[in-house]
A and B are shown apart, each in its own frame.
Chain A
Amino acid sequence: MAAKRSIMDHVLVPKARILSDDEVSALLEKYHVQKENLPKILEGDPVVKELGAKKGDVIEFERNSPIAGKTLYYRVVV
């Protein structure tokens, strides 16, 4: 059997990382929003599980966009 693979290695899964507290407050400051106004992602999502993110964490996704190259998207774990 091959070594255990991570779903993050798949080409279609966007790169993701958990934002630090400072980064989160900077993000909320930038958009003048509360955490609950950010797009959500379920705690049970495979990517969330893989990252070990907990409820309330904000995850930064680096997506490939056909028109804009790389774009950043933020989702809060609920």
Chain B
Amino acid sequence: MVTRKTIGEIRFGVLSPEMIRKMSTVEVVVPETYDDDGFPVDGGLMDPHMGVADPGLRCKTCGQKMSKCPGHFGRIELVRPVVHSEYARYIEYFLNAFCPKCGRPLVSDEALKEIVAESDPKKRLKMLAKKGATVKKCPHCGAEHVAVRLDKPTNFFEGDRRIWPTEIRERLEKIPDADLERLGFDPKNFRPEWLVLTVLPVPPVTVRPSIILETGERAEDDLTHKLADIVRINQRLKENIDAGAPQLIIEDLWDLLQYHVTTYFNNETPGAPPARHRSGRILKTIIQRLKGKEGRFRYNLSGKRVNFAGRSVITPDPLLEIDEVGVPEVMANLITIPMHVTEWNLDEAKKYVASKEYPRALYVIRPDGTRKRVTDVNREELLEELAPGYVIERQVIDGDVVLFNRQPSLHRMSMMALRARILPGKTLRIHPAICPPYNADFDGDEMNIHFLQTKEAQVEARELMITKKHIISPRYGGPIIAPTKDIITAMFLLTLPWTRLRRDEAMDLLYFAGVYEVPQADEDGYVSGRDVFSTILPEDMNMKFPSKLGKFLVSTGLAGPGKKSVVYPYTVIENGKLVAGVIDKAAIGGNGKLIDYITRRYGEDAAADFIAKVTRMAYWIVRRFGFTVSYESLKTPEEIERKIDEITDAAIKKVQEYLEQYEKGQLEPIPGRDLRESLEIYIMITLSQAAKDVENLLKRYLLETKLTPQGVLDNFAQIFSGARGSFANIRNLMGIQGQAAVREKRPYRGFYQRVISHFKRGDLGPFAHGFARSNLRDGLSMDEMFFWGMGGRMGEVDKGVSTQITGYYYRRLSNAMMDLLVFPDGTVREVTRDSIVQFVYGDDGIDPQALRHGDVPVDVIADEVLGGKQ
């Protein structure tokens, strides 16, 4: 049963000296910790009254052993009071807000009322101090008042006179409770003089345990070191006072005591040199323990760690199913999964216990909870007693459900359930099609794996988190698990109209892919690539959609209504046969039409099978056909070179004309812009249009020449199929690099009136501001490369900054919304309080995963109703 309690209130206050003494079990007077025999010194920093950190010893306060004793505070009675450095600012406020003589506020009662009435309780003291600092005479007793100044970190001056903590304390003691209450303080929990320490609490030994090194030496905690410093100086100060030492020496020691207490609280206090260990290492004191990313809060309290998990580099394995993960043998050997022995699985359990190698039981747990490690010695014995009610812990085997995760976990698909497959090697292997939801690649990415321990967790993960159920992304209602890169290229190559395979090759491919039927071969004994592909399509499928290649063809005018093109721009599937067009990114890539349709119409299992088969086919094809990059294929004929030069020259000439018009003041300004801005816009438009023209020229040229039965596609297959790269990349390689831009403008920063010294001052021409007419194939000139670098650097910086900023936005949103839940009645509520946030989830109550880009997938529903006939 969970008992719920409501926190009524939390009270914050400052510990009073009485409270510190009450909490304390022992006064620490000796800076030593252990004597020569290794026993803790009485009255020392390791006094057993403060609890014990060694097993076996008993606490002198509560009599418990290490495991039970919670630890108890001790105290150091400071011979002279010191300021609490973290409150120094507030002490300054108090000294300026109240009269040193009578302790009343330094303003009249009416003025005080006014401050109280109009201000936030948190700001009252500060406001009063601001007013009080200017007051020369106390309005209550008429005593003179001089403003007190804080000399950081802990010294106070009244005019030029140093005031010591004893005097500060005396002044603060005079402040009446009634005035404190008026300012919003609770005098029972807070008195200003408590900010000046007369007694220092010593935390229990358990807070600062000593570590025993291999050499047998004891190394004390940083806090213990710091406390020893305090005790030492405190004793020295006491001796000097008792001996009647000169005032100057006493004050020096007092300041030293103040320094030690200051750094004990915060070793990063501004104005105080950080205290160091003998080795020169800066000590980690109280605030350093708590603060920041590696502090107690963020590292230990908000951060959680788990068992039964692993992490390794990931590598692709095209032969896996999409819901499988390859688990290295070392992991499978080490990690166990509990198995509850029943009368139905008794034989299986016995098999694990009896086995001496891999799938074996590592532990047997009796019904009374005693754990036994299975060893060669006791194996027979355990086997004998094994009965229903026992639990065995067996090694991970194929088919165990695991969670697989990659950081940053930005959405729910960042952690999906997979079935383990134990494989040789040391990497975790995944099917390449599940990279997109994880945003993973194989350039050294590492991922985490969690082995689910309970049946409930396994079932829940299998039903809700398995990859198959996440093929459609809920973010935009389209496939996110889909083949990528080379798989798309391979399917493109396979389904080109002129691709043929010998019948034996087709058989080999299909068998490899897991298809056990061969399409009809023609008289020559060849099977068309399309027919091979069609074997994995459902028989009653009918679809027609524009392919990626088709869009390229149409945009260059190579295909379109009434035109005859080498490849039909639409992918057409009739009764489960690919009859026209190609399979490319538009069909099987991320957001691909085919994947989408199969998932919705034929279900997740069919889609998963389809993706796996496509991948295996692609694997075979890439190995059989191969594809490569060559310098040769980047060469362009004379005619194309000439046309590129023409386009570029014309653009440069046009820019020259704009510049002349600008010089003469004849340039037509763009509405809302001045002449200079207008010129800049005209130049940018002209040059970017030229780049676009070159790009389109190359696009058409490449599609015309390479996309033929005789054409050598090389890496252009990647671009044509949408697998990777763009025609803009091609333009940079074979055409012109184009305009380098920094913040969407031409580069301007650099030397006086020019960016680099290769140009005349005031040159506004294309080349002086980042236009590059060379390309990567022939190489850029040094000035072109410099400008290109300017744009590239901006891109890199922006990328880093924007991921950081969006990451933080995301963190805030997810923290704010993490305990919102959609309830069975369709309302969105805050789980912990049952409060309603939305009356109908998303205003329409619809799961976006069931939609296609936010719309109802009508075709799927129609097909289901009409039985696949269009």
Q: Given the known inter-chain contacts A31-B825, A67-B854, please indicate yes or no for A37 contacting B833, CB distance below 8 A.
A: yes
B708 at the interface (CB under 8 A from A): no
Question: Taking chain A's interface residues, is the majority helix, strand, or loop, or is none over half, making it mixed?
Answer: mixed
A6 at the interface (CB under 8 A from B): no
Q: Given the known inter-chain contacts A31-B825, A31-B827, please indicate yes or no for A65 contacting B834, CB distance below 8 A.
A: no
Distance between Cα atoms of A74 and B836 in the complex (Å)? 10
Say whether A33 contacts B843, CB under 8 Å.
no
- A 25-42 contacts with B by CB, 8 A: 31, 33, 36-39
Tally of contact residues, A, Cβ under 8 A: 13
A-chain residues with CB within 8 Å of residue B834 when the two chains form the complex: 33, 37
Q: Given the known inter-chain contacts A31-B827, A37-B834, please indicate yes or no for A73 contacting B839, CB distance below 8 A.
A: yes
Distance between Cα atoms of A36 and B833 in the complex (Å)? 10
Q: B831-866 interface mask toward A, CB cutoff 8 Å, 1 = contact, 0 = none?
A: 001111101101110000000001000000000000
Question: Taking chain B's interface residues, is the majority helix, strand, or loop, or is none over half, making it mixed?
Answer: loop
Closest CB-CB distance, B853 to chain A, in whole Å?
12
Distance between Cα atoms of A68 and B854 in the complex (Å)? 12
Say whether B844 contacts A67, CB under 8 Å.
yes
Q: Given the known inter-chain contacts A31-B827, A67-B844, A67-B854, please indicate yes or no for A37 contacting B835, CB distance below 8 A.
A: yes
A-chain residues with CB within 8 Å of residue B837 when the two chains form the complex: 39
Distance between Cα atoms of A36 and B830 in the complex (Å)? 13
Ranked 9 nearest A-B pairs via Cβ: A68-B844, A68-B843, A65-B843, A37-B835, A71-B843, A37-B834, A67-B844, A38-B836, A37-B836
Q: Given the known inter-chain contacts A31-B825, A31-B827, A67-B854, please indicate yes or no for A39 contacting B836, CB distance below 8 A.
A: yes
Q: A4-30 interface mask toward B, CB cutoff 8 Å, 1 = contact, 0 = none?
A: 000000000000000000000000000
Distance between Cα atoms of A65 and B846 in the complex (Å)? 14
Q: A35-51 interface mask toward B, CB cutoff 8 Å, 1 = contact, 0 = none?
A: 01111000000000000
- Most A CB contacts (10 A, CB to CB) among B825, B835, B837, B854 go to B835
B-chain residues with CB within 8 Å of residue A36 when the two chains form the complex: 835
A78 at the interface (CB under 8 A from B): no
Q: A49-62 interface mask toward B, CB cutoff 8 Å, 1 = contact, 0 = none?
A: 00000000000000
Residues in chain B within 8 A of chain A (CB atoms): 825, 827, 829, 833-837, 839-840, 842-844, 854
Residues in chain A within 8 A of chain B (CB atoms): 31, 33, 36-39, 65, 67-68, 71-74
Distance between Cα atoms of A67 and B477 in the complex (Å)? 15
Closest CB-CB distance, B844 to chain A, in whole Å?
4
Q: Given the known inter-chain contacts A37-B833, A37-B834, A67-B854, please indicate yes or no for A31 contacting B839, CB distance below 8 A.
A: yes
B829 nearest in chain A by CB position: A37
A30 nearest in chain B by CB position: B825
Query: With A31-B825, A37-B835 given, can you name 12 additional A-B contacts, CB distance below 8 Å?
Result: A33-B834, A33-B835, A33-B836, A36-B835, A37-B836, A38-B835, A39-B835, A67-B842, A67-B854, A68-B842, A71-B843, A72-B839
Distance between Cα atoms of A31 and B842 in the complex (Å)? 17
Distance between Cα atoms of A39 and B828 in the complex (Å)? 11
A38 nearest in chain B by CB position: B836
14 CB-based A-B contacts, threshold 8 Å? A31-B827, A31-B839, A33-B834, A33-B835, A37-B835, A38-B836, A39-B837, A65-B843, A67-B854, A68-B842, A68-B843, A71-B840, A72-B839, A74-B839
Distance between Cα atoms of A5 and B130 in the complex (Å)? 46
A-chain residues with CB within 8 Å of residue B843 when the two chains form the complex: 65, 67-68, 71
A-chain residues with CB within 8 Å of residue B833 when the two chains form the complex: 37
Closest CB-CB distance, B211 to chain A, in whole Å?
52
B-chain residues with CB within 8 Å of residue A73 when the two chains form the complex: 839
Closest CB-CB distance, B237 to chain A, in whole Å?
58
B839 nearest in chain A by CB position: A73
Closest CB-CB distance, B121 to chain A, in whole Å?
21
Distance between Cα atoms of A31 and B826 in the complex (Å)? 10
Distance between Cα atoms of A67 and B856 in the complex (Å)? 12
Closest CB-CB distance, B21 to chain A, in whole Å?
45
Distance between Cα atoms of A67 and B825 in the complex (Å)? 20
Say whether A31 contacts B836, CB under 8 Å.
yes
B-chain residues with CB within 8 Å of residue A67 when the two chains form the complex: 842-844, 854
